[in-house]
Chain A
């Protein structure tokens, strides 16, 4: 009995640190509707700054706790600068666009931390006065764990008081519910948002600082916590701080006991819990309907058919690409295949997000299922490349059919996070099921058939498949089915009112997007010759998301532009030292120059040029 009690305490201590990481994220999203990918980076900065302060002061109990607060304050100021310099300029951008900016910040902060603190892990001191264990029912319990168990609820109580007993808190809660109304009442939203960002960032910094006595400070901290922080926030219900606390306790305590029975479960446990919660409660434990949507963007202009001239330009581009083997070296073709795969993947995600209005954080699931479907068809079923090229998209379709059924019941960030959970669960199974998938050693030797194995032949094959897929998606967008999806995206209520079974159509759209992502994964598998669980990973999903958002979600050309720019810049920039800083800075520059994405930016540039040359009169 005493053993289980001690295990419970261990779980509760973990819950406190998880809550401290997640609560700031919840506050920031609740108020500003920004999905802040850089939250993990703020957490990491908190740990590094606290390490520096505590080790430099070396002043016992006082120095330690002073270091904690100093780190929280410093990170709060970093967050304030982020909001003031970058994010403030993006509040009118399309839903979730700010996510691209925070992604750029993640890259920048990684290299800044590397430059300042170096590559080696730093083990900070234990908390003075709390460095030992006490015996509770005979079991040793670290004193610091007990302190954490206290700090978590204290912070929760502090936030509650702030939100319910101060005027600022009341305004923040009002803004969480109806921003426009608060603005109409004469409250300066900018000030409110800045303050919320400061608070959220400071809490992330505090969470990082309080980790020092428990773990070494390292450059992996940012990406290690970010997914779990989102999971906690979503399980609790977006914007609900108390919900985040309950979710943190749920996950941590479950994990503490699960490792006793089934140690491998840790890898996917949070995502399984999230999937179950979201299937049962579509808005998380304490979330309200509508709490999962980003800031309302500008209403979207209907898509127009391409003009004759546009078609000609497009045809010219495609022809130029197809003619490139005549002039370009082998490596250019290899890069172009990567580009085509990225374009098809981004286009399929754009079809889901931009056309269908279903945001996905886990689109890599279908890309990866396609890649694994093709690889397994070759390795296990012994099919040739032709058969595998059918098996890949079919597998993607099947996966999307299953997950889509659950996902279309949700909306906004909840839907996005359920797709993430699906992707992570598939990833976990692939990772663990060594006999079939090879685990993280992957599947090797998935090379194209001899006739397609030359770089030129495979380039043409990939071009035919990917351009064909993109063309098919375009056709669908302009078909009645596409109109229906767009109608459902813009006004689900009206769509239902005129008798459309929206969910069923969204399910079909989800499946189509999954199929084409699977097709992209298939082309990818044969171009690389091997498949690893990374293709299902969060990084792959995020890359797709960034391509779509960066390109511009309101235009069909957006994902293609975004994929092109992303792949080419990354290939070029990763040759340099501190390339993540440069890459992040480029992304930030693009985001600030074109808050409506590359497609929107180019469109404005075109209009500007036309106005200056007076060409507009011709139309």
Chain B
């Protein structure tokens, strides 16, 4: 008898962890619950500023009385960089926390996984950061919208600048995964359209975050290109810049580089920042529009550091959600979807943008400029704001790229 009891005790002990999942909290009616998923431990350099950005936006909304009298509560979770974990978390947010919608994700495969999940579960998903074109085009679905300017848009912005150069022979270097391949394909297509005389003489595909920079630089040098298109970022970029400049790869050779103007990637280069690379990015506090200055000041007051690209994406995500909830007639998914179609965000730190009804891509743009070292600090100079809408195919064309529903 005594032994039987022990056994049931042990069994009960083993079941303890499940208890936490049994007791679903009663969803509070006075607040709107929103789920947020991102790779906080896998890519902290980008996702920490992003989190600070949306937190600032959230605090401002709730301080201003919330949405129609209801506060917003964001449940934020770390996806550990694994698509399967992201899906499990999304399921929990929908079924247990009764989240109204989900936003976030950085890595493209996680964005795609959650987007497919949202389609299956008929839940609205705002993909804040993933750049993959597939999210809105080849794998687009009714329930997924994307905020950040896509790979195609940013590559097209650079191609426009690249077409103004004299260079004819181009070499490309990009990390060997979907983002790198999309970025090269889009740049080639756009540049060839603008300048039919260019030729691409060399391409290098180092593994992401594992570039053998010396060998890669030498392979590029061997092709003797007139100019180079670079897609590597983060640690790979630093290695590439270092090995390239010491081997004089960039002497008298223009470089066009995707995302390298984003402070997350530019600042670590320190005093080795290359001079005059044509980049897309974010000039931070140098932007002098009223809306941006207000944002930057609030951000610095709140967090004690200047905003990064992630911050602006996080903040604009929250602004988009605010506009959505104010416009939607109810929190039902169908009403939210109706409100997302062509949703206008009238004012944001980067200017107004809207979500296109045809392909669910936001028209938020990016900044195009040149890298420089100003007073020992890496900066973007001579930059202009490139409106996202100018670098997207027409809505009719874009709709054709999406699968039939």
Q: Chain A: residues with CB nearer than 8 A to chain B?
A: 3, 6-7, 10-11, 13-14, 110, 114, 119-123, 126, 131-133, 140, 142, 145, 213-216, 218-220, 224, 252, 255-256, 259-260, 263-264, 266-267, 309, 313, 316-317, 320, 324, 327-332, 334-335, 338, 431-432, 434, 439-442, 444-445, 447, 455, 524, 528-530, 532, 534-535, 539, 564, 568-569, 571-572, 574-575, 579-580, 602, 609-610, 613, 615, 618
Contacts and interface: CB of A to CB of B under 8 A. Distances in A.
B88 A335 contact: yes
Contact of A431 (B18, B78, B177, B216): B177
A534 B22 contact: no
Nearest to B121: A529
A532 B113 contact: yes
B235 A220 contact: yes
Given A142-B247, A259-B215, A317-B11, A572 B272 contact: no
Contacts of A579: 41, 78
B109 A3 contact: no
Contacts of B24: 329, 331
A444 B116 contact: yes
Contact of A140 (B22, B92, B115, B247): B247
Contacts of A528: 83-84, 87, 113, 117
B209 A224 contact: yes
Contacts of B234: 121, 216, 218
18 contacts: A7-B218, A10-B218, A120-B267, A121-B235, A142-B243, A256-B215, A259-B216, A263-B205, A309-B7, A335-B88, A338-B88, A441-B132, A441-B139, A529-B87, A534-B82, A564-B14, A572-B20, A574-B78
B402 interface: no
Contacts of A331: 21, 24, 91-92, 95-96
Given A121-B268, A263-B205, A329-B22, A224 B109 contact: no
A143 to B, nearest CB: 9
B71 interface: no
Given A133-B248, A329-B21, A331-B95, 11 more contacts: A14-B212, A122-B268, A145-B214, A214-B239, A259-B206, A317-B14, A332-B18, A528-B113, A530-B113, A579-B41, A618-B3
A256 B214 CA distance: 8
Interface in B69-95: 77-78, 80, 82-85, 87-88, 91-92, 95
Contacts of B20: 572
A67 B269 CA distance: 21
B270 interface: yes
Interface residues of B, number: 77
B41 A580 contact: yes
Interface string B23-52: 010000000000000000100110010000
Given A13-B214, A263-B206, A442 B44 contact: no
A140 B248 CA distance: 8
Nearest to B135: A441
Contacts of A534: 82-84, 109
9 smallest beta-carbon distances between A and B, as pairs: A119-B44, A216-B238, A330-B95, A10-B214, A568-B17, A444-B116, A121-B268, A331-B96, A256-B215
Contacts of B333: none
Contacts of B205: 263-264, 266
Given A215-B242, A263-B219, A528-B83, A441 B134 contact: yes
B219 A260 contact: yes
A95 B321 CA distance: 53
Contacts of A569: 17
B15 interface: yes
Interface in B204-259: 204-207, 209-210, 212-216, 218-219, 222, 234-235, 238-239, 242-243, 246-248
Given A440-B178, A441-B139, A530-B112, A216 B204 contact: no
Contacts of B404: none
A575 B246 contact: no
Q: Is the interface of B mostly helix, strand, loop or mixed?
A: helix
Contacts of A432: 176
A488 to B, nearest CB: 34
A215 B210 CA distance: 10
A35 B119 CA distance: 44
A25 B8 CA distance: 46
Contacts of B91: 330-331, 334
Contacts of B219: 259-260, 263
Interface string B370-383: 00000000000000
Contacts of B82: 534, 539
Contacts of A324: 18
A224 B181 CA distance: 21
A535 B218 contact: no
Interface string B54-67: 00000000000000
B135 to A, nearest CB: 9
Nearest to B47: A119
Given A255-B215, A338-B88, A440 B77 contact: no
Among A266, A320, A330, A334: residue with most chain B CB under 10 A: A266
Contacts of A13: 214
Contacts of A524: 84
Scoring A216, A220, A267 by chain B CB atoms within 10 A of each residue's CB, the highest score goes to: A216
B41 A266 contact: no
B6 A609 contact: yes
B2 A266 contact: no
B108 interface: yes
